[in-house]
Amino acid sequence: MIFVGFGFLMTFLQRYGYSGVGFNFLLAAFGIQWALLLQGWLHCYREGYILIGVENLINADFCVGSVCVAFGALLGKVSPIQLLIMTLFQVTLFSGNEFILLSLLEVKDAGGSMTIHTFGAYFGLTVSWILYRPNLHHSKQPQSPVYHSDLFAMIGTLFLWIYWPSFNSAVSSHGDAQHRAAINTYCSLAACVLTSVALSSALHKKGKLDMVHIQNATLAGGVAVGTAAEMMLMPYGSLIVGFSSGIISTLGFVYLKPFLESRLRIQDTCGIHNLHGIPGIIGGITGAVTAAFANSAVYGEEGLIQAFGLRSKLDSSMQANLQAAGLFISLAMALVGGIIVGLILKLPFWGQAPDQSCFDDAVYWEVPEHERTALRPEHTTLRPPEP
Amino acid sequence: MIFVGFGFLMTFLQRYGYSGVGFNFLLAAFGIQWALLLQGWLHCYREGYILIGVENLINADFCVGSVCVAFGALLGKVSPIQLLIMTLFQVTLFSGNEFILLSLLEVKDAGGSMTIHTFGAYFGLTVSWILYRPNLHHSKQPQSPVYHSDLFAMIGTLFLWIYWPSFNSAVSSHGDAQHRAAINTYCSLAACVLTSVALSSALHKKGKLDMVHIQNATLAGGVAVGTAAEMMLMPYGSLIVGFSSGIISTLGFVYLKPFLESRLRIQDTCGIHNLHGIPGIIGGITGAVTAAFANSAVYGEEGLIQAFGLRSKLDSSMQANLQAAGLFISLAMALVGGIIVGLILKLPFWGQAPDQSCFDDAVYWEVPEHERTALRPEHTTLRPPEP
Amino acid sequence: MIFVGFGFLMTFLQRYGYSGVGFNFLLAAFGIQWALLLQGWLHCYREGYILIGVENLINADFCVGSVCVAFGALLGKVSPIQLLIMTLFQVTLFSGNEFILLSLLEVKDAGGSMTIHTFGAYFGLTVSWILYRPNLHHSKQPQSPVYHSDLFAMIGTLFLWIYWPSFNSAVSSHGDAQHRAAINTYCSLAACVLTSVALSSALHKKGKLDMVHIQNATLAGGVAVGTAAEMMLMPYGSLIVGFSSGIISTLGFVYLKPFLESRLRIQDTCGIHNLHGIPGIIGGITGAVTAAFANSAVYGEEGLIQAFGLRSKLDSSMQANLQAAGLFISLAMALVGGIIVGLILKLPFWGQAPDQSCFDDAVYWEVPEHERTALRPEHTTLRPPEP
């Protein structure tokens, strides 16, 4: 499921659709196998065999989701070999991080706000920071969409939007928690769309909407509700989460993305900081707060034990502290891991494209012949309309 | 599910794809929240809380489906603010109509032929009639598809086609009724495709197929079988329904749509009258007829009670009368409601686009720069090929 | 499900997208009804009624899948009437072949490697051989994709890729076998993507990737694992199957397809020989080998009976022989049936397009006006850039 969504979300660049879909497909296929092996060794190794079930496939999917997020920051600037190496390391780090959070700290993170989105986004941003290309504007292919490529990207958005409730509830325990997760996510997503559209229009000089915000900010609500989705967030709570994450994400696209690029030298092609980074942190905090207010009056005695596994000793404020700790550990792992992997990827023998060939499919793909020749003259003759 | 289908079905206009997908997305997100609240107040209000379950989400989805249908008639001619206002009122009216039909009259309408399609279509058409724009042909953007936009619309068609069996069977009681609904819908849709294609070719002077018929008329079978889907329509019955609705829908596109536009001053952008209006009425009648012939020989004693809740007093002809009454109430609500909402939307301060900017994304969206400038000269220079 | 995938996989031709999607839709709707009737008469005929359940719908779907495969070889060269006639015969032959394999020989073929893919591919290829058009290169529309049409085709690929595990496990008995089928398919597909991409790059002079390989060869793993999916192939086994089928399929696209076309006079538009033909045979052989090694140590006493229905007499080597026999019967039926149907289709009154109108939508479809006129001059003026 995830691959379709993420893949098409990345087709918005006018001459980079093949790579957006294709490389995503490649890293997903590679990442899943590596994640299956790694998670098998960590969790299900019995007498020389790895036991595999549908659970493992879903977990491997989630792990690859995190790599797709990080790929979003690097889209158009890395070679497929660099991508595969990044996938190799990131899956390893992800599995380590997940093991610490879920198994050691017993943090709850059903929708992966922390383990998938926060980790993936800041990992990708750190790698992008290390691989900074100062002359990216020399690229022959503009880093902008065309009409049809935006529509392809909308396929991705709608896919992700529709499957997000299933995504956030996939690993929750069946029954109450799973239902809660789906409904909370649904409400949060719906609220998020409204605020994204409203703000996108309000921030534009002429009140027009920006397709980039619609494609991305509308999904922030799903990210932000990830951790708390299976908890007793209540529909009103998830509406508030969706409402605020839509606002923050759109603001991020308008103000923060240019700032990151010019000042902090972080080039974030898809704007993952605004779609996954900040909403992921919001999600982590929301999870901690919701956990802090968990008590048997809301969940029922039995429900509380089911939801958090809280016995007599661990009370809910302890759980909240652990949730917060999980968020910081994810961030730390992402930053340290990102720097190391970024330095490895900076080594000059991975077949990087030069600056002027970024965002261009023709470097890695056999592009239909007459298009390559046809499109260039068309543009040059048409922009200055007949000299 | 619904949003993807309806959204992409509306991308067929060459310069209105952003709005087709985007506004649909917006009204869906808004409509769902409003429908959840309204239906919660009507049906599930307990001690200050609204109880929400997956059932409610599906019902809210259906309600929004009806708004999407109505949007089809207005596509390209209304501003997003008008759309949101229309959604606000239509969801309210829909909930009222549904309450009368399903709760008071105990009408059966599993696939919503009456509540969703008939109501949505005639509501939209009435609003479109009130908002009649006599100079619509002055629009700078032609109201016609291009090659790729038609392919995008086919994504929508295939999606709707595939999910229609699940759609029609979603709220049926589990077990027999749900199975019946899925199988009947499936048969009806398959029959409908054949007659649509055959008639589309037969009505063309050179025997060519028209993409518009394929995109729309092929779905009419699903609409027409909606009410009767969970009843004992038998596969042969649903084949007949699909067969005839395919014919009527295609005939409607060829003969009725131009007539409506020129004589009755109803501009129906997507042709919803032919896809939802007439097939919806067929569906309502089919439902009444099928209910009239319901007896314990076909359903079994127990099955009859399960299917209709028929006890000793209410016999099957009574149920048939109620079904017919439900159809007329839906139509009446649609016409009266449509006139009122249409008049409200005619107020001049909702940011309507002038006639010449209809069907043009650039009014509401930030459209990629060079396309706007590039596409115009290209067309003008190429149509008269080098003077 | 299948239609979306196959339909969009066939949109890669630049001026044949309408037909790819539309004709596929048409033959699917027709084929399903015919298959329901036929399979109903063969398997579920009771007292004048055909009993229909969800099982039957899935089986009819599979049957149509086989027709879609065969259509791939003929894409762009046959008229819709020829297609319907082919569907009529192929569904009949398919049902006969399936009856012999599954009911008489009790062969296991959960994912249809033999019944669907091998049969469909060689049937289509034989028909294509009979309908050989020596002057196909005179076609006005080149048999090559454009940028956007390749992206549409990727929608199809990703769809098929995602639904393949459900597809291969749909008719397995619930529980263990179904789980095994899904997991084995998943592993095989993931392995197949990696080898396809690697080989596609390795075989290109400049190391570039070819979109055709990514669209097609990545799915070969799902085909090749079809028969053995529900058996105890073990994840390592399915990785090996996916690995090798990815290699063979890509090699087939690069070396075998031109050879077939120039020497054997078989024009295979979509390259189904490499996606369905060879991987189907691999799948049949894998199934036979896996069945040969089936024993109660691996499956457990009870599991063995469940999986194969093996009682005391039929041992596993017997089952392996039957599997191999099933493969040969499928091939023989495909060749003989293909020759007969091909000769019928060669009759001159089915409205075939002349050679120069192949791969052109405008023969059968109402194509948007200004495109037809606009695209031609654009290409001619741009290829020799301003004389």
CA distance, residue A260 to nearest chain B CA (Å) = 23
**What pLDDT does B84 receive?**
86
User: Is the CB of residue C18 less than 8 Å away from at least one CB of chain B?
Assistant: yes
Question: In a mutagenesis test of the B interface, which of C158, C350, C365 is the best target, namely the one with the most B β-carbons within 10 Å?
Answer: C365
Residue B100 clears pLDDT 80, i.e. is over it: yes
Cβ–Cβ contact A377 with C under 8 A: yes
Report the pLDDT value the prediction gives residue B176, as an integer from 0 to 100.
72
Cα distance between residue B339 and residue B58, in whole Å: 28
Q: CA B241, CA B260: separation in Å to the nearest integer?
A: 25
Identify the pLDDT of residue B2.
55
B33–A191 CB contact, under 8 Å: yes
End-to-end CA distance of chain A: 49
Residues on chain A touching B152 (C-beta within 8 angstroms): 151
**A91 interfaces chain C, CB cutoff of 8 Å:** no
> Which of A320-334, B6-20, C145-159, C265-279 reaches the highest mean pLDDT?
A320-334
**What's the whole-number average pLDDT of chain C?**
75
Could you tell me the pLDDT band of residue B375, with boundaries at 50, 70 and 90?
very low
d(CA C58, CA C178): 15
Work out the minimum CA distance from C146 to partner chain A, whole angstroms.
6
Other chains touching A, judged by 3 or more CB pairs under 8 Å: B, C
Q: Report chain B's terminal Cα–Cα distance, integer Å.
A: 50
Most confident of B117-126, B152-161, B210-219, C155-164: B117-126
Average confidence (pLDDT) over A129-139: 74
> Per-residue pLDDT averaged across A9-32, rounded?
72
Which run of H or E residues covers position C161?
Answer: helix C147-169
Joined together, the tokens standing for residue B229 give 């889907």
For residues C61 and A136, the model is more confident at C61
Answer yes or no: is pLDDT of C314 > 60.
Answer: no
**Res B384: pLDDT:** 33
Residues C205-247 have pLDDT tens digits of 777 777 777 777 888 888 888 777 777 777 778 888 888 888 8
Q: How close A215 gets to chain B, by Cα (Å)?
A: 9
Q: Does C161 touch chain A (CB under 8 A)?
A: yes
Alpha-carbon distance B379 to A378, whole Å? 12
Q: How confident is the model at residue C139 (pLDDT cuts 50, 70, 90)?
A: low
* Interface touch C209/A366, C-beta < 8 Å: yes
| Range of weakest confidence among A256-270, B69-83, B132-146 | B132-146
Chain B residue numbers touching C26 (CB-CB < 8 A): 193-194, 197
| Contact between residue A223 and residue A279 where contact means Cβ atoms under 8 Å apart | yes
User: Are the Cβ atoms of C162 and A377 closer than 8 angstroms?
Assistant: no
User: Which string of DSSP letters, residue by residue, matches C306-328?
Assistant: HHH---SSS-HHHHHHHHHHHHH
What is the DSSP-derived secondary structure letter of residue B78? S
C-alpha A136/C-alpha A128 separation (Å) is 12
Check B29 against A194: CB less than 8 A apart. yes
Q: Looking at the partner chain, which of B151, B182, B214 has a beta carbon nearest the beta carbon of C54?
A: B182
CA distance B43 to chain A (A): 17
Q: Rounded to the nearest 5 degrees, what angle is found at the Cα of A31, between the Cα atoms of A28 and A32?
A: 85
Q: Distance (Å, rounded) from C-alpha C191 to C-alpha C247?
A: 10
Nearest to C364 among B148, B183, B209 (CB): B209
How far apart are the C-alpha atoms of B12 and B15, rounded to whole Å?
A: 9
- Cβ of A146 within 8 Å of Cβ of B4? The answer is no
Mutate to test the interface with A, among B33, B50, B379 (most CBs of A within 10 A): B33
Query: Residue A3: which residues within 8 A CB-CB, separation 6 or more?
Result: A24, A25, A28, A64, A68, C158, C161, C162
CB B197 within 8 A of CB B78: no
C179 and A374 within 8 Å at the Cβ level: the answer is no
- d(Cα B229, Cα C33) in Å, to the nearest integer? 18
| Among A2, A10, A18, A64, the residue to mutate for chain C (most C Cβ within 10 A) | A18
| B4 to A159: CB separation less than 8 angstroms, yes or no | yes
C150 with A18: Cβ contact below 8 A = yes
Give the DSSP letter of residue C232: S
Answer yes or no: are the C-beta atoms of A64 and A32 closer than 8 Å.
Answer: yes
Encoding tokens for residue B314? 């209410």
Query: Nearest C-alpha of chain A: how many angstroms from C190?
Result: 5
Distance from B34 to chain C by nearest Cα, in Å?
32
A33 touches chain C (CB under 8 A): yes
Of C169, C232, C225, C241, the closest CA to residue A52 belongs to C232
C292 close to C320: Cβ distance less than 8 angstroms: yes
Select from C15, C21, C375, C381 the residue whose CB has the most chain B CBs within 10 Å, as the one to mutate to test that interface.
Answer: C21
Q: Quick one: pLDDT at residue C305?
A: 64
Structure-block tokens of residue A179 = 């239902």
Looking at CA atoms only, how far is residue A145 from chain B in angstroms? 7
Question: Do residue C21 and residue B383 have CB atoms under 8 angstroms apart?
Answer: no
Encoded tokens for A36: 């299956």
**Residue type at B232 in one-letter notation:** M
Check pLDDT > 50 for residue C374.
no
Q: Is A182 touching B (CB cutoff 8 A)? A: yes
DSSP B277-312: IHHHHHHHHHHHHHHHT--HHHH-HHHHHHHH---S
Measured in angstroms, the CA of A385 and the nearest CA of chain B are apart by 8
Whether B370 and A382 lie within 8 Å, measured CB to CB: yes
Q: Do B368 and A193 touch (CB under 8 A)?
A: no
Cα C83 from Cα C143, distance rounded (Å): 20
Structure-block tokens of residue C97: 């072949």
Nearest to B375 by CA among A382, C381, C379, A372: A382
Smallest Cα distance from B355 to chain C, Å: 23
Instruction: Report whether A169 contacts A230 (CB < 8 A).
Output: yes
pTM score of the predicted model = 0.78
Q: In which band, very low, low, confident or very high, does the pLDDT at C49 lie, cut at 50, 70 and 90?
A: low
Dist CA C57 CA C29 (whole Å): 12
In this complex, is the C-beta atom of B145 within 8 Å of any C-beta atom belonging to chain A?
no
C-proximal residues of A, 209-268, CB under 8 Å:
none
A7 — contact with chain C (CB < 8 Å)?
A: yes
Which residues, at least 6 apart from A94, have a Cβ–Cβ distance to it below 8 Å? A35, A63, A66, A67, A115, A119, A120
Could you read off the pLDDT of B57-87 as tens digits, one per residue?
Answer: 778 888 888 888 888 888 777 888 888 888 8
B3 in contact with A at a CB cutoff of 8 Å? yes
Contact list, A160 vs chain B (CB under 8 Å):
none
Q: What's the gap in Å between the CA of C78 and the closest CA on chain A?
A: 25
Predicted pLDDT of residue A139: 66
Read off the pLDDT band of B3 (50, 70, 90). low
The verdict on C382 touching A (C-beta cutoff 8 Å) is: yes
Chain C residues with beta carbon closer than 8 angstroms to that of B159 = 4
At C201, list the tokens.
Answer: 């790059």
Place of tokens 């073929």: C109
Question: SS3 letters for chain A?
Answer: CHHHHHHHHCCCCCCCHHHHHHHHHHHHHHHHHHHHHHHHHHHCEECCEECCCHHHHHHHHHHHHHHHHHHHHHCCCCCHHHHHHHHHHHHHHHHHHHHHHHHHCCCCCCCCHHHHHHHHHHHHHHHHHHCCCCCHHHCCCCCCCCHHHHHHHHHHHHHHHHHHHHHHHCCCCCCHHHHHHHHHHHHHHHHHHHHHHHHHHHHCCCCCECHHHHHHHHHHHHHHCCCCCCCCCHHHHHHHHHHHHHHHHHHHHHHHHHHHHHCCCCCCCCCHHHHHHHHHHHHHHHHHHHHHCCCHHHHCHHHHHHHHCCCCCCCHHHHHHHHHHHHHHHHHHHHHHHHHHHHHHHCCCCCCCCHHHCCCHHHCECCCHHHHHHHHHHHHHHCCCCC
pLDDT attached to residue A225: 82
User: Looking at chain B, which residue has its C-alpha nearest residue A189?
Assistant: B29
Asked whether B164 and B224 are in contact (CB, 8 A), the reply is no
Query: Which residues in B lie closer than 8 A to residue C20 (C-beta atoms)?
Result: none
Confidence of residue A12 (pLDDT cuts 50, 70, 90): low
Token readout for B3 is: 């949003």
Q: With an 8 Å Cβ cutoff, is C364 touching chain B?
A: yes
The full 3-state SS of B199-241, as one line of letters, equals: HHHHHCCCCCECHHHHHHHHHHHHHHCCCCCCCCCHHHHHHHH
Among partner residues B146, B151, B186, which is closest to C11 by beta-carbon distance? B151
Is the per-residue pLDDT at C95 higher than 70? yes
User: How far is A271 from chain C, CA to nearest CA, in Å?
Assistant: 22
Contact B209 C33 (CB under 8 A): no
Cβ-contact B252, B266 below 8 angstroms: no
- The alpha carbons of chain A give a radius of gyration, in whole angstroms, of 21
CB contacts of C150 in chain A (<8 Å) are 18, 368
Cα separation of B14 and C370, whole Å? 12
Whether the CA torsion A128, A129, A134, A137 is positive or negative: it is positive
Q: What is the ipTM of this complex?
A: 0.73
The pLDDT of residue B376 is: 38
What does DSSP assign to residue B138? G
Q: Are C85 and C344 in contact (CB under 8 A)?
A: yes
Beta-carbon separation of B146 and C30 below 8 A = no
CA distances from C25 to A281, B9, B276, C200, C366 (A): 45, 16, 21, 31, 17
C-alpha–C-alpha distance, residues C2 and C306, integer Å: 28
Task: Please report residues of B whose CB lies closer than 8 A to that of A146.
Answer: 368, 371
